[in-house]
Amino acid sequence: MKIRPLDDRIVVKPLEAEGKTKGGIVLPDTAKEKPQKGEVIAIGAGKLLENGSRVPLIIKNGDKVLYGKFAGNEIKIDNTTYIILRESELFARLEA
């Protein structure tokens, strides 16, 4: 199934939560924090302005991004969790 977000919305697939601390302690699933990093899977056409034109999104498919812990709406499609959020809810794009 393909998903196509509307307007300035973005679909993000959360990256896996860290399984170990920096000190090497293995964390059980119940102690892992909700991930705040993800990969952009799909983007909308851009924000629609009052004059009918659209502002294109800065984010592109495949970008790795940071977002708030409780940002967006979580959905499940084919046993995969995604988050749909607006571009303005993103904090940063991760660059290599």
32-78 pLDDT per residue, tens: 566 689 999 999 999 989 998 999 999 999 999 999 888 889 999 88
Report the predicted TM-score, pTM, of the whole model to 2 decimal places: 0.77
pLDDT at 92 over 80: yes
What pLDDT is recorded for position 35?
Answer: 65
Helix, strand, or coil (residue 75): strand
* Residue 59 burial (CB count, 10 A): 16
Cβ–Cβ under 8 Å, residues 7 and 46:
yes
For residue 16, give the amino acid letter. E
Domains, the chain, in order of start with CATH, read 9-16+28-94 (2.30.33.40)
Tally the residues of the chain.
96
For residue 39, give the amino acid letter. E
Give me the chain's average pLDDT, please. 85
Question: What is the arithmetic mean of pLDDT over 23-28?
Answer: 69
Q: Determine the Cα–Cα distance for residues 7 and 46; give it in Å rounded to an integer.
A: 5
